Amino acid sequence: MDYFAPNLPEEEIRKISSLGLAHLGDAVYELMVRSWLCAIGRATAKGLHAATIRYVSAPAQARAAAACLPHLSEEEEAVYRRGRNTKSVPGRRSASHEEYHAATGLEALFGYLYLKDRRERLHELFEICIRSIDAAQDGA
């Protein structure tokens, strides 16, 4: 199996728990953020961690999820809901319960798309995420 482009069959992905998809999607999303920050020279080496946190925090991901929702297919929305509705305990107090669940839904979606090797779709949604987070932070 090519772990950089797994392209798993749907029945194999269904065997993965929602938290498993979110766990993988968290890494995919953060790798995309880190790659983007380095590629565009958005932050100094010293500021890369802080810049990354601005985009990968649960509140930022919740805003990104809200921006992505109108653009999701039925299949993608079902994956998002499956991740969002997962029963789990939020890890940090920096996010509300709703933000944490929305972020988990977004991460599950990114994990799913990664496992399906839908790179182009990941890039499309990632652009929506970045634009929505930047717009919210520019307005703050």
Please indicate whether residue 134 is annotated as part of the active site.
no
- Residue 71 counted as domain residue: yes
User: Largest Cα–Cα distance in the chain?
Assistant: 44
Torsion of CA 86, 17, 23, 7, to 10 degrees: -130
Domain count within the chain? 1
pLDDT on residue 74:
98
pLDDT on residue 139:
66
Q: Which of 2, 26, 134, 138 is catalytic?
A: 26
- Residue 3 counted as domain residue: no
pLDDT on residue 90:
57
pLDDT tens-place string over residues 32-80: 999 999 998 877 777 888 899 999 999 999 999 999 999 999 999 999 9
Q: Which residues of 22-57 are buried (b: 16+ CB within 10 A; e: fewer)?
A: bebbbebbbebbbebbeeeeeeeeeeeeebbebbbb
- Residue 1 counted as domain residue: no
Q: Among 12-16, 41-45, 82-86, which is the least confidently predicted range?
A: 41-45
Q: Residue 50: which CATH number?
A: 1.10.1520.10
pTM above 0.85, yes or no: yes
- Residue 4 counted as domain residue: no
**How much of the chain is in helix, strand and coil states, percent to nearest 5?**
75, 0, 25
Question: Is the pLDDT score of 91 beyond 80?
Answer: no
